[in-house]
Amino acid sequence: MQISVAWRVIARVFLPFAAGYYLSYLFRTINALISGHLISETGLGTTDLGLLTSVYFLVFAAAQIPIGILLDRFGPRRVQSALLLVAATGAGLFAMSTELPSLLISRAMIGLGVAAALTAGLKSIVLWFPREQVALLNGYMIMLGSLGAMTATTPAEHLIAWIGWRQLFEILAAVTGVTAVLIYIVVPERVIILSTGSTPATLSSVFSDRRFWRIAPLSATCVGSAWSLQGLWAAPWLTDVEGLGRESLVGQLFIMSIVLCGGAWLFGTTVHCIRRRGVGAEIILAIVAVLFIAAELALILRAPLPSILPWSVVAIVGTATVVSFAVVADYFPPELAGRANGALNVLHFGWAFLAQCGTGLILEQWSTEGGRRTVLAYQVAFGVSVALQIVALAWFAVPSFRSFTEWMGSIVFFAPVDVSDAVEPVILYEQTVVLMPADVDAEW
């Protein structure tokens, strides 16, 4: 009976929201595939293309805080279904647009319409599933949603060759509208009753939490940059720097999308396993950041590696939100899930906008040679982002380093005391663990 109930919840709650996130990811990455068509048909420049693609992230980021509040107040079912109708309208307008202003407006509508796709899904998981399964299900949610990035490569390329990119967006508009109706009809309502003494469900309790501000810059600069690169700048790099033709380019983007899906599953499973062993997910986030910086440096320094290797790491990091949201779920109660996830997503998508638009502005400073940007232009543009990620990693590591030195000092201070049999953990803020003798007075 319990298994039957679980599958019913998956079918009526998990899968409909996964479908909405799938569409969100498809809209996010499709411009990398149609960028050439947009340039040839509308005469867009590099800066215009960067602005057009990144306005999705700007609107997405601006909507996260209001959406988080709406999710906590009205529930994910009503919020998600209403916004997807906006996305459907935007996709329809995008298919008909021929000038930059109309393209920007319709792209902004798409960004607003899918702005709740991930956070609504995560909120539904928190509401309907046991807490110990949240990280694992988050991973599955993002894995299924990442199929949208896969669809935006080879499958979409074949459709565009057959019917054209404008007709493709007309189909996407219809599918998005149907998904909105499906979510409204199929997904049940569920209300969280606040427990006595619970954390006040206010946004200030999220932004005033020091733990949030420790992980947020690192998560934002890494995840947002990964989205920017895969969503737009991977294609120009592979064309201008690696010299790939259209077929090879689409093939490599397809491989990156497969890796993207696998990364979501990997992160979800890893976080689920380590949390069962009492290990915090923060360490996984730090490891991901180090690998991401190393991959970007390999690209910038032109390391003698197959380009698919560092670009696969870039793709995987795009799903590290599984780790970030698992950390946030540990910091805040369920009634704050919408606000907390929305607050973190503001930084994710805000940084993606800055990285995507800023990269276009930097690249525009170099003239083209034979229709291609120089390697130096990309090295400078990507290098600025890497420098800021290193700063964020240092900010994240400082409390850990301070805690380590304090722990070493405590070992030296209590060296004469035999603590082999009588120790107890004292959990300090920032989740630091210091071993102290059990019989030491509490005033220590």
How is residue 369 annotated by DSSP?
B
Please check whether residue 32 is in contact with residue 230, taking contact to mean a CB–CB distance below 8 angstroms: yes
- What span, in angstroms and rounded, lies between the C-alpha atoms of 323 and 325? 6
Q: Comparing C-alpha atoms, which of 262, 275, 271 is closest to residue 319?
A: 262
What the block records as the tokens of 243 is: 């010299």
Query: Distance from first CA to last CA of the chain, Å, rounded?
Result: 52
Q: State the CB neighbour count (10 A cutoff) for residue 65.
A: 18
Provide mean pLDDT across the span 44-52: 79
Q: What is the rounded average pLDDT for all residues in the chain?
A: 83
* Phi–psi pair at 369, nearest 5 degrees: -125, 110
Superfamily name with CATH number, domain 2-187+203-410: MFS general substrate transporter like domains (1.20.1250.20)
Lowest mean pLDDT of 198-202, 277-281, 286-290, name the range. Answer: 198-202
Please check whether residue 194 is in contact with residue 201, taking contact to mean a CB–CB distance below 8 angstroms: yes
Q: State the CB neighbour count (10 A cutoff) for residue 368.
A: 12
* pLDDT reported for residue 297: 97
* Phi–psi pair at 402, nearest 5 degrees: -65, -40
Q: How confident is the model at residue 285 (pLDDT cuts 50, 70, 90)?
A: very high
* pLDDT reported for residue 288: 94
Q: Whole-model pTM?
A: 0.71
Q: How confident is the model at residue 438 (pLDDT cuts 50, 70, 90)?
A: very low
* Phi–psi pair at 418, nearest 5 degrees: -80, 110
Strand, helix or coil for residue 320: coil
For tokens 């990144």, name the residue: 54
pLDDT, tens digit, for every residue of 302-320? Answer: 999 998 999 999 999 988 9
| CA distance readout (Å), 204 to 44, 151, 199, 210, 319 | 41, 39, 11, 12, 27
pLDDT, tens digit, for every residue of 176-196? Answer: 999 999 999 999 887 655 544
Annotated domain spans of the chain: 2-187+203-410
* pLDDT reported for residue 439: 37
Q: Comparing C-alpha atoms, which of 50, 200, 193 is closest to residue 127?
A: 193
pLDDT, tens digit, for every residue of 201-213? Answer: 577 888 888 999 9
